[in-house]
Amino acid sequence: MLEDKSPQLTPISKLGEFGLIKHLTENFPVVQESTQLSIGDDAAVIDAGDKKVVLSTDMLAEGVHFNLGYVPLKHLGYKAVVVNLSDIAAMNATPTQVLVSVAVSNRFPVEALEEIYAGIALACSRYQVDLIGGDTTSSNAGLVISITAVGLQAEDKIVKRSGAKANDLLVVTGDLGGAYLGLQILEREHSVYLANPDMQPEMEGYDYILERQLKPEARTDIRKKLEELDIVPTSMIDVSDGLASEILHLSDQSKVGFHLYEEKIPLDSTMIATAEELNLNPAMAALNGGEDYELLFTIAPSDFDKIKNHPDFTIIGHATEHASGNYLVARGSNQLIPLTAQGWDAFLNGE
């Protein structure tokens, strides 16, 4: 993709490791007051004041988490940051800094790394987080990106996966399953392209789900909205592996069961239409698809009135005693179907 556009490419070896890092990171401004020392020293320093420091790390590998055949490098850089900010948001904390490491083979020119860093810069700017460190190295094959995100929050506002109680309400932000269906469309059009490179990909009408897959956003806005509603969730997680998998995590760590109502799962109309086009069950795509980066959380039943008609939140179920287990309550029949994690799994789907 990139190779076609740029006739004059720079081999990475020309800049050297130090030159490359300096070159790639020179346009990152420091915007957080808490960033005392950023790139260029042995480590970064963060002024925590009376806030706690929250850290999260995530690794994305070519061929497993992304396919460069249809994922533009700039989107990849953007998404790599967003995925980590989503983890910080899932703690009810404010993301403040990121550290980024990239391993890349010499088949990538400097311009390819610049595209990745342009995406990283866009995410840093959009979410007002500072790039405070990282590493760039060559690898024998493939591209691997590892990101550590840092966030701050007062101790009594940090929300873990472990605080849900029986009868708490189960709430999710946004809509689910779109990122998974966006991926299906990208893979379909990529197969068509591989079979016949002269075919134009048919992407029209799929904008929303393609954006959900290629340029997801982290719900860093939710912390403030919950604060305005005077709600501190009892437990929270982000939806990275699929709704079913995340519910089982909350169940496991909070020692509760859950009833999830199929008819309550928020689904977008483009997503439903695409699922039907591809002969997929929309609810199953939401349950097992993953990569939506919405927030899933529980609140005390007494908070119901605060949240019931809010456009950002959908109540999709409730917690039960742990021994009751985890069930999907099927649309129409009200049949109880045991929830299992069939979510995206790097080891099962990779290679």
Site for a copy of itself in 274-303 (CB under 8 A): none
Q: By CB under 8 A, is residue 12 in contact with a copy of itself?
A: yes
Smallest distance from a copy of itself to CB 36, Å:
7
Q: By CB under 8 A, is residue 106 in contact with a copy of itself?
A: yes
Q: Which of residues 45-74 bind a copy of itself (CB under 8 A)?
A: 45-48, 52-65
Closest CA to 260 of 313, 322, 339, 328: 328
Q: By CB under 8 A, is residue 342 in contact with a copy of itself?
A: no
Smallest distance from a copy of itself to CB 64, Å:
5
7, 8, 140, 200: which one contacts a copy of itself (CB under 8 A)?
140
24, 93, 275, 328: which one contacts a copy of itself (CB under 8 A)?
93
Q: Which of residues 228-267 bind a copy of itself (CB under 8 A)?
A: 236-238, 253
125, 128, 137, 281: which one contacts a copy of itself (CB under 8 A)?
137
Q: By CB under 8 A, is residue 77 in contact with a copy of itself?
A: no
Q: Given the complex with a copy of itself, which of 67 and 335 has the nearer CB atom?
A: 67
How wide is the angle at C-alpha 180 spanned by C-alphas 66 and 307, nearest 5°?
A: 125
Do residues 252 and 321 touch, judged by C-beta distance below 8 A? no
Do residues 307 and 168 touch, judged by C-beta distance below 8 A? no
Smallest distance from a copy of itself to CB 162, Å:
8
Strand-pair category, 130-138 with 94-104: parallel
Six-digit token string for 77? 């850089």
Q: Which stretch binds a copy of itself (CB under 8 A): 35-43, 189-197, 223-231, 270-278?
A: 35-43
105, 122, 312, 329: which one contacts a copy of itself (CB under 8 A)?
105
Residue where the block lists tokens 């700017």: 125
Q: Which of residues 160-179 bind a copy of itself (CB under 8 A)?
A: 160-162
Determine the Cα–Cα distance for residues 150 and 134; give it in Å rounded to an integer. Answer: 13
Determine the Cα–Cα distance for residues 299 and 306; give it in Å rounded to an integer. Answer: 10
Six-digit token string for 238? 């982000």
Smallest distance from a copy of itself to CB 203, Å:
26
Do residues 326 and 339 touch, judged by C-beta distance below 8 A? yes
Smallest distance from a copy of itself to CB 224, Å:
18
The single-letter code of the amino acid at 13 is: S
Q: Is the dihedral of CA 202, 205, 211, 212 positive or negative?
A: negative
Q: Given the complex with a copy of itself, which of 45 and 337 has the nearer CB atom?
A: 45
State the CB neighbour count (10 A cutoff) for residue 36: 12
Q: Which stretch binds a copy of itself (CB under 8 A): 12-20, 190-198, 299-307, 309-317?
A: 12-20
Give bridge partners of residue 52 from the DSSP assignment. 153
Q: Given the complex with a copy of itself, which of 37 and 192 has the nearer CB atom?
A: 37
Closest CA to 133 of 39, 31, 33: 39
Q: Given the complex with a copy of itself, which of 101 and 324 has the nearer CB atom?
A: 101
Smallest distance from a copy of itself to CB 2, Å:
19
Smallest distance from a copy of itself to CB 74, Å:
21
Determine the Cα–Cα distance for residues 15 and 24; give it in Å rounded to an integer. Answer: 11
Six-digit token string for 102? 């990239």
1, 141, 199, 278: which one contacts a copy of itself (CB under 8 A)?
141
Determine the Cα–Cα distance for residues 279 and 86; give it in Å rounded to an integer. Answer: 30
